[in-house]
Amino acid sequence: MIPVNEPLLNGNEKKYLTECIDTGWISSEGPFVSRFEQGIAARVSRRHGIAVSNGSVALEMAVAALGIGKGDEVIIPTFTIISCAAAVVRAGAVPALIDSDPITWNMDIKQIEARITSKTKAIMVVHIYGLPVDMDPILELAEKYHLLIIEDAAEMLGQTYKGRPCGSFGNISTVSFYPNKHVTTGEGGMVLTNDDVLAEKCRSLRNLCFQEKKRFIHEELGWNFRMTNLQAALGIAQLEQLDAFVAKKHKMGQKYTEMLSDIKSIDLPVQRTDYAENIYWVYGIVLKDEIPLDAEEVMKQLGKKGIGTRPFFWPMHEQPAFRKTALFEKESYPVAERISRRGFYIPSGLALTENQINEVSRALHEVLA
Ligand SMILES: *Cc1c(COP(=O)(O)O)cnc(C)c1O
């Protein structure tokens, strides 16, 4: 079986982990945590990094730190991971959804302005699968309408937009260190900002809002979202290899495109836009309408041939968890609905070998012949 993702852990991971065990520093108090925070922040040109337990809670904390809550609306793509919408809904705010661009699969920025109301407080930008969102028009809208920007760069560490690092845009950005991301800590995430006050707020929220002088008296409610020294040790070793990892993803994507472009019934990821080269966080495929199979059926057939796959995201407006609360009633976003039914991704992990790419390509040719 070729798994859909396998991480690469052959740098200094073992060495730094051993250091944690030898020194006894395993909790969030250990020295690797702030080193990792500084390393990631420097990498994306941010002043502050606040490490947390995963990318989903990073979003939750970002929303809370910005003071988003009841009565507010936050513009987000409908085609994304549930974490984005969950962070907004848990804060008591309402997500205002945007359909996808059929070419990049990112949110269609042309539709944003029409969604802005007097209640709109923020735009949550999510870079999806390999290409960044076109940021300049969004930054202009934010300025024009006085909106906050949260940038979910979970899939885009190491990517740039017009030469500027993803993770450096807006008031706050977040990343994830899940094992399929470009830097992994097993589980983990980070909030990034240039704003000293926001950073302090996040540090406090992450740590139950303990106070320095009166430790067990809490003025506000926080969470325990702390990252351990063990996780940060892995992260530092991974970060040392980020450039090589991104280069490897890029090469993987180019090789897949070379091998699959003769299959007429599928759309492949676009290789570049005006502002970025695709770095193929995952290699997505969308079945054209003329073929009668949907993604589920093709994935089943690939599975029988030993090829691991994952479906595309399922749109937020079609999530039973939200529909049951009457959110997004009667809303329809045709592009997201189509790509979620006809899209899936093939093995794209950093440990993927050239032979495995050949094998995946062979299987796809057989199934789609
Ligand atoms: C992975 C991911 C997250 C969530 O990160 P976890 O660490 O898995 O909680 C959030 N947003 C996007 C776009 C992601 O791809």
- Where do the domains of the chain lie? 13-239, 242-368
Query: What are 164's strand-pairing partners?
Result: 161
Residue 22, pLDDT > 90, answer yes
Task: Read off the pTM.
Answer: 0.98
Taking CB atoms and a 6 Å cutoff, what residues make up the pocket around ligand 1? 54-56, 80-81, 83, 126, 152, 154-155, 176, 178, 189
Indicate the helix (H) or strand (E) that contains 337: helix 334-342
CA gap 303, 178 in Å, rounded: 23
Look up the CATH number of domain 13-239: 3.40.640.10
Supply the pLDDT for residue 369: 85
Pairing mode of beta strands 283-287, 310-311: unpaired
CB 179 within 8 A of CB 168: no
Distance 356 CA to ligand 1 centre (A): 26
Distance 115 CA to ligand 1 centre (A): 25
pLDDT, tens only, 302-357: 999 999 999 999 999 999 999 999 899 999 999 999 999 999 999 999 999 999 99
pLDDT category of residue 54 using cuts at 50, 70 and 90: very high
pLDDT, tens only, 222-246: 999 999 999 999 999 999 999 999 9
What six digits make up the tokens of 254? Answer: 């180019």
Q: What fold, for 242-368? A: Aspartate Aminotransferase, domain 1 (3.90.1150)
Pocket test for ligand 1, best of 40, 61, 83, 88 (most atoms within 8 A of CB): 83
Which residues lie closer than 8 Å to 215 by C-beta, 6 or more apart? none
